[in-house]
Structure formats: structure tokens, C-alpha cells
Amino acid sequence: MSRPQVTRALAELGAEPVTHLINTHWHFDHADGNDWLHSAGAKIIAQENTSKHLAGIQRVEDWDYNFLPSPAGAIPSEVFAREHSLKLNGASIGLKYYGPAHTDGDISVTFAEANVLHVGDTYWNGIYPFIDYSTGGSIDGMIAACNASLAAATSDSIIIPGHGKPVSNKTELQEFRDMLAAIRDNVAKLKKQGRTRDETVAAKPTAAFDAKWGQFVIDPGFFTRLVYEGV
Ligand SMILES: [Zn+2]
């Protein structure tokens, strides 16, 4: 569905064809262009769990939706378990598996010379994130992924999130990570006291963060339910 915008952006870069496409995870808003870009000649690369999810039916409980298998051309043809590296147009590109985080297939993509770190949906810049428990995501995995990204970044790294303001940095990512950890602790405390999910939402454990982070599709109640599921 983003084909017209992507086609326009590619044309502005030059006439050369796209030869490689990297999927940071399987979600449709990140992999929906696979089929047409593959038809245009791109090789698709992903972590092996991402490829598995794209090839089968996926039920995402929190969206109450079943995703159908992708067409053959949309399935990544080059998969890896932990790490993969590429050298393209003089750029060193490093792909690294986070372990289960937002899904069970999230990877970071590092462009070494440019000092750019793409962290996919393990980071939503300025907004509460979705966490896909149906395919292996969890709040603790999200926090662990942020810790890994922070360790890999330098103070002048350009960090590209999966959603939110498209260009970020280590300071903002640190703030996102600290928000996740604080809400995780608040929700865990309530759950330990025996509060049900609805009682925990009613106690507003995200209140201190809502003005800044609660202004997008994952609202405070929804985010609280996602955290509750994982603590
Ligand atoms: Zn996603």
C-alpha cells in the first residue's frame, strides 16, 4: 500500500534497481512491499522466524485478526539466525537478531560508515509501542532490545525507530527504555497485589507518562493491558 510513496522516493535517489530488501520483522506495515519489490528484482533478507511467520497463517490476538500466508515472492529468500553482514555500494551493513522483543524475529540494521542504527519496531519514538505476544513479543524482551540498541549506539548515532518521529538518537531511546521499565514495574506491582487486568488499567499505572507517550494508536489502557500480559 506504500508502493507509490516508496517508488517516488526511490526515483529521487536514482535510476538503479533495488537489489536488496531487509525485513526488520514480519508485520504487514513493514513487509507488505515484499512482493512487488521482489518482482522488481530485490532479494529479501530476514531473521528465520520472520520468514516462517510470513509463510504461514498468523493470528494476532490483540488485533483479533488472522493474517494469511504471503505469496511465494514475498517470502525472504535469505534467512539467518543471529547475525548477517553485507557490503553494498561501499557500505558495511550489519544485521543482528535481538531475540524475542516486539515479535520473535526482530533485528537491528547497522550502517557502520554512516553511524545509522535502524531498530525496527523495538522502538516507537515518542509513543507507546505495540507488543505482539502472539508471535513471541514481550515487555521484558522490548526492554532487553532497547538495552542492546543503547549499548550498540554512540552519542552521535542516528537511530531510526519503527514508528513515531522518523529520526532519533540515543538520548530519546534511553527515555523510551526508561518509560518501558517504569511502567513495567508499576504494572507488575499491581498484578502481584492480585489486581485483575481491568483493575490494573483502572489504577492508571501509566498516568505519569500519558501526556507524552499516550497520543497515538496504542492508548494508555491498551498499553497497560500489553504490559500486564507479560509480567
Ligand atoms: Zn511491528
Closest C-alpha among 138, 65, 155, 130 to residue 100: 138
Q: What is the DSSP letter of 72?
A: G
Beta pairing class for 124-125 and 163-164:
parallel
Q: What is the pLDDT of residues 67-84, one digit of tens each?
A: 888 999 999 999 999 999
Burial of residue 122 (CB within 10 Å: 0-12, 13-18, 19+) is: buried
| pLDDT score, position 93 | 98
The three-state secondary structure class of 67 is strand
Lookup: cell for 201: 488499567
CA distances from 35 to 3, 41, 44 (A): 11, 10, 10
Query: Measured between alpha carbons, how far is 183 from 101 in angstroms, rounded to an integer?
Result: 16
Give residue 141 CA to ligand 1 midpoint distance, Å: 14
Q: Are the C-beta atoms of 226 and 218 separated by less than 8 Å?
A: yes
- Lookup: cell for 44: 529479501
pLDDT tens-place string over residues 140-180: 999 999 999 999 999 999 999 999 999 999 999 999 999 99
Q: What is the CB-side half-sphere exposure of residue 134 using CA atoms within 13 A?
A: 15
pLDDT of residue 62: 85
Residues with CB under 5 A from ligand 1 (ion): 27, 121
* Tens of pLDDT, residue by residue, the chain (231 residues): 789 999 999 999 998 999 999 999 999 999 999 999 999 999 999 999 999 999 998 888 888 889 888 999 999 999 999 999 999 999 999 999 999 999 999 999 999 999 999 999 999 999 999 999 999 999 999 999 999 999 999 999 999 999 999 999 999 999 999 999 999 999 999 999 999 999 999 999 999 999 999 988 899 999 999 999 999
pLDDT at 2: 84
Question: What are the residues whose beta carbons fall under 8 Å from the beta carbon of 145, sequence distance 6 or more?
Answer: 98, 99, 101, 102, 106, 119, 122, 123
Give the pTM. 0.95
CA distances from 118 to 2, 92, 107, 169, 226 (A): 19, 14, 9, 11, 24
pLDDT of residue 137: 97
pLDDT of residue 35: 95
Ligand 1 centroid to residue 96 C-alpha, Å: 17
- CA of 160 from ligand 1 middle (Å) equals 14
Q: How far does residue 28's CA lie from ligand 1's centre (Å)?
A: 8
The Å distance, Cα 102 to ligand 1 centre, comes to: 7
**Is 159 within 8 Å of 175 (Cβ atoms)?**
no
User: What spacing in Å lies between the alpha carbon of 25 and ligand 1's midpoint?
Assistant: 7
Q: How many CB atoms are closer than 10 A to CB 76?
A: 25
Q: Give the pLDDT confidence score for residue 101 in this predicted structure.
A: 98
Question: Given this model, what pLDDT does residue 186 score?
Answer: 98
Residue 63 has a pLDDT of: 85
The set of cell numbers assigned to 100 is: 524475542
- Percent of all residues in the chain with a pLDDT value above 70, rounded to a whole number: 100
